[in-house]
Amino acid sequence: MAKPKNKSQTQPVFPQYKGVEELIPQVYSITTFGNVGFIVTEEGVVVVDTAIHQFGELIRNDIRKVTDAPIHSIIYTHGHYDHAFGVWALLKEAEERGDPKPRIIAHENVVKRFNRYQELQGQQEFINRIQFSVPDGTSAVPKEYHYPDLTYHDRLSFRLGGLTFELRFGMGETDDATWIWIPEKKVIFSGDFLLWSFPNLGNPFKVQRYETEWADALEQMASLHPQILVPGHGPVIRGEKIKKVCLNTARALRYLHEEVVKRLNQGAWIEQILEEVQLPEDLAKKSYLAPIYGCPTFAIHAIYRRYAGWYDGNPSHLFPSKTADIAKEIVNLTGTEALLNRAKALKEAGEIQLALHLVDFIIYNPETADLKEAHELKAELLQAKAEQTTSFIARNIFLNGARREYQLAK
């Protein structure tokens, strides 16, 4: 089987850039991996998010295709790398033009996020390289941080050029999230509260996320009856569809929350909960809830983690033996050849996950003499898992693992 290649077999960190679109007079969006919005007023431009670092100049150039007015304010919907780090180009331009420095506005927790990212710079580089399948030679995380000039706690409102910008705090994918309502235009910029995928609630690499507060924010958005909603990722949503998308996404989050909490109260452990809880069929069929980025399984893990500890209910796992020691005992009982043959048979039968567990005993056994065949088999199994999943995150984890196994097989 061919080894996975970055361009053809992974979902890259730099998807197709689609440029600027006028939504209604004065209001524009720019489609990138993380969407950008800007509003042109008589007193200057307000920018909502600035995409990833590499898109900074593209964002600046797109704004200048529309207006030469100075940038007045830049709002971060949250502090993730794909939303707040193209800002450098706008700040640089203002300095070169002699314009006043644009005011950066964000929730107060963005400051804490930036501090944490810098403290864990190496870890952020490591996990984001895997999550986004970052090409070799490209840094996964920026080194330069532009902190907000103005922060707020719950709500912040300002007027500019005859328009009102209402910033509202919410917790969802992050604990520093802002969504923006412009009542005169009936426009919402939702940030990552909406992203044309099942909510990215349980990212296996990242910190805790917040399902009920996420639903609260979406229900608040729907109650305002917006005519245009610019999501954090994906196409702009218009008209009556906004209410449906917001409320159905909120319903999905509340459903999973209620089902997990109900089972926790019944004394269930994570394995049982994962087996029993599934998204209702009518919600699972919604295109905007497809498991493209987040997925219900990850969300269930996140909800469980929020309300319970890491213990899984099996006392054998409280102070477990080393994986290598367990593998050695299993291989000594069965033999390497028997395990390998059974893993191959399971692969042929389509039982990919079970086959992975068996081949791991061979790989982790410190006494296995020749690991080449086991590494190659695991690589093939991981590629098969990648082909079975639609989740961007899960797919890249599997393909990164497959590449590693092929390298170890050399």
Q: Kindly report, residue by residue over 210-219, the tens digit of the pLDDT.
A: 999 999 999 9
Q: Can you give the residue ranges of every domain in the chain?
A: 6-192, 254-307, 321-409
Under CATH, to which class is 321-409 assigned? mainly alpha
User: Is the confidence at residue 5, as pLDDT, over 70?
Assistant: no
Span 268-281, pLDDT tens digits: 999 999 999 999 99
396, 11 contact by CB (below 8 A) = yes
Segment 307-333 shows an average pLDDT of 97
CA distance 145 to 115: 9
- Confidence at 136, pLDDT banded by 50, 70, 90: confident
Tokens of 162: 């005859």
| CATH dotted code for 6-192 | 3.60.15.10
Q: Which of 401, 400, 338 is nearest to 365 (CA)?
A: 338
Closest CA to 201 of 296, 274, 285, 82: 296
C-alpha 349/C-alpha 287 separation (Å) is 31
What is the three-class DSSP state of 162?
coil
**Other C-beta atoms lying within 10 Å of the C-beta of residue 66:** 15
d(CA 388, CA 348): 15
CA-closest candidate to residue 57, choices 84, 92, 81: 92
- Identify the pLDDT of residue 17: 80
Query: How many CB atoms are closer than 10 A to CB 24?
Result: 12
The stretch 186-193 carries a mean pLDDT of 98
Looking at residue 16, what is its pLDDT? 66
Please check the confidence at residue 13 and state whether its pLDDT lies above 60.
no
Residue 184 has pLDDT above 80, yes or no: yes
Q: How many Å apart are CA 228 and CA 102, to the nearest integer?
A: 26
What is the pLDDT of the chain when averaged over all its residues?
Answer: 95
Structure tokens at 26: 């004065």
Q: Does 9 score more than 60 pLDDT?
A: no
Q: Report percent pLDDT > 90 for the chain.
A: 92
d(C-alpha 182, C-alpha 35), whole Å:
17
Alpha-carbon distance of 337 to 359, in angstroms, equals 10
**How far, CA to CA in Å, does 32 sit from each of 15, 133, 285, 350, 385?**
7, 17, 26, 37, 28
Which percentage of the chain shows pLDDT scores above 70?
Answer: 96
Q: Do domains 6-192 and 321-409 have the same CATH topology?
A: no
Q: What is the DSSP letter of 135?
A: P
- End-to-end C-alpha distance for the chain, whole angstroms: 14
In this predicted structure, what is the pLDDT of residue 191? 98
DSSP assigned state of 287 = G
Can you give the pLDDT at residue 28? 99
- Residues 124 and 141 sit within 8 Å (Cβ to Cβ): yes
Instruction: Determine the average pLDDT of the residues in 28-53.
Output: 96
How does pLDDT run across 351-367, given as a tens digit for each residue? 999 999 999 999 999 99
**pLDDT for the residue numbered 335:** 96
Q: Tens digit of pLDDT for each residue in 137-161?
A: 889 999 999 999 999 999 999 999 9
Return the pLDDT at 135: 86
Task: Please tell me the distance from the alpha carbon of residue 117 to that of residue 80, in angstroms, as a whole number.
Answer: 10
> How does pLDDT run across 225-243, given as a tens digit for each residue?
999 999 999 999 999 999 9
pLDDT given at position 18: 84
